[in-house]
């Protein structure tokens, strides 16, 4: 099958991979765009694995403020060189990650950070749920394991669907960028602020806020 320049351009725009890589992968996938995207993701994962041992001490601390100043995020995203840190692509990535945190409220960057006691407590809750208790014993562990993975998807940033492109996880987004820039990229830490979180509003303040919403 002939691979057109339009197909190569489309794949490049969807994945951020180089032109030659896109053409080669489309040829390998016999022109199937979805298969080519999957192949490039796999190659991106391989590229990321090769770079995982490198030191990424450059980067940027990005911020994002949402809902009229009611939610704010600070996030540190690292790369290997100051050159990459100053590129528009990297700056956009940092902002996208901050926006992701604001929208999806992760608690940890990766599942390895989740304390073991929290995981065990969640497993006990899941194992004790009525729908699982009614299943044959041989099935229960598999069902709990599947739901624990869903639990990690909710609370771990790297496993969440990327808000701007839900077909990608944040981890896949990072790996695609690694393949594009040729450097290790990592999300080191973040803080999410919610206005008034942990404070009890006075009753008259609460009433005034409700009234203002009703009047809009």
Residue 45 lies in a domain: yes
For residue 160, the model assigns a pLDDT of: 95
| CATH value at residue 22 | 1.10.8.10
Residue 75 lies in a domain: no
DSSP 108: B
More confident position, 42 or 200? 42
How far apart CA 78 and CA 85 sit, in angstroms, is: 8
Residue 124 lies in a domain: yes
> What mean pLDDT is predicted for residues 156-161?
95
> Each residue of 10-58: pLDDT tens digit?
887 676 666 777 888 899 999 998 888 888 777 765 566 566 667 777 9
56 with 80: CB under 8 angstroms? yes
For residue 187, the model assigns a pLDDT of: 95
Residue 174 lies in a domain: no
Residue 198 lies in a domain: no
73 with 187: CB under 8 angstroms? no
Residue 216 lies in a domain: no
For residue 207, the model assigns a pLDDT of: 46
For residue 198, the model assigns a pLDDT of: 78
Give the chain's length: 216
For residue 205, the model assigns a pLDDT of: 56
Residue 47 lies in a domain: yes
Instruction: pLDDT band for 214, please (50, 70, 90 cuts).
Output: very low
> Each residue of 69-92: pLDDT tens digit?
899 999 999 999 999 999 999 999
**Can you give the residue range of the structural domain that contains 35?**
1-51
73 with 63: CB under 8 angstroms? yes
Residue 14 lies in a domain: yes
Report pTM.
Answer: 0.67
Domain termination site, one of 154, 176, 202 = 154
For residue 211, the model assigns a pLDDT of: 45
Instruction: pLDDT band for 210, please (50, 70, 90 cuts).
Output: very low
Question: Is 153 exposed, middle or buried (CB count within 10 Å of its CB: 0-12, 13-18, 19+)?
Answer: middle
How far apart CA 62 and CA 72 sit, in angstroms, is: 11
Q: In this predicted structure, which of 6-15, 98-107, 147-156, 203-212 has the lowest mean pLDDT? A: 203-212
What is the dihedral sign for C-alpha 149, 151, 155, 161?
positive
Domain termination site, one of 154, 182, 207 = 154
Domain termination site, one of 103, 129, 154 = 154
Domain count, the chain: 2
> What are the residues whose beta carbons fall under 8 Å from the beta carbon of 47, sequence distance 6 or more?
175, 178, 179, 182
pLDDT at 175 over 80: yes
Residue 195, SS3 per DSSP: coil
144 with 98: CB under 8 angstroms? no
> Each residue of 89-146: pLDDT tens digit?
999 999 999 999 999 999 999 999 999 999 999 988 887 787 777 777 778 778 888 8
For residue 206, the model assigns a pLDDT of: 44
């Amino acid at each position: 099958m002939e691979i057109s320049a339009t197909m190569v351009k489309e794949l490049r725009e969807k994945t951020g991979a180089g032109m030659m890589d896109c053409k080669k992968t489309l040829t390998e996938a016999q022109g199937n765009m979805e298969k080519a995207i999957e192949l490039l993701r796999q190659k991106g994962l391989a590229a990321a694995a090769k770079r995982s041992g490198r030191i990424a001490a450059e980067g940027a601390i990005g911020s994002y403020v949402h809902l009229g100043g009611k939610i704010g995020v600070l996030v540190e995203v690292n790369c290997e060189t100051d050159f990459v840190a100053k590129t528009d692509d990297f700056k956009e990535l940092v902002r996208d990650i901050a926006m992701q945190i604001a929208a999806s409220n992760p608690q940890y960057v990766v599942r390895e950070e989740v304390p073991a006691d929290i995981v065990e407590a969640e497993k006990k809750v899941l194992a004790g749920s009525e729908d699982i208790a009614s299943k044959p014993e041989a099935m229960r562990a598999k069902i709990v394991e599947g739901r624990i993975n869903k639990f990690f998807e909710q609370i771990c940033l790297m496993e969440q669907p990327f808000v701007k492109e839900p077909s990608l996880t944040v981890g896949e987004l990072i790996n695609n960028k690694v393949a594009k820039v040729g450097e290790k990229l990592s999300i080191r830490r973040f803080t999410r602020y919610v206005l008034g979180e942990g404070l009890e509003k006075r009753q008259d303040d609460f009433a005034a806020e409700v009234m203002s919403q009703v009047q809009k």
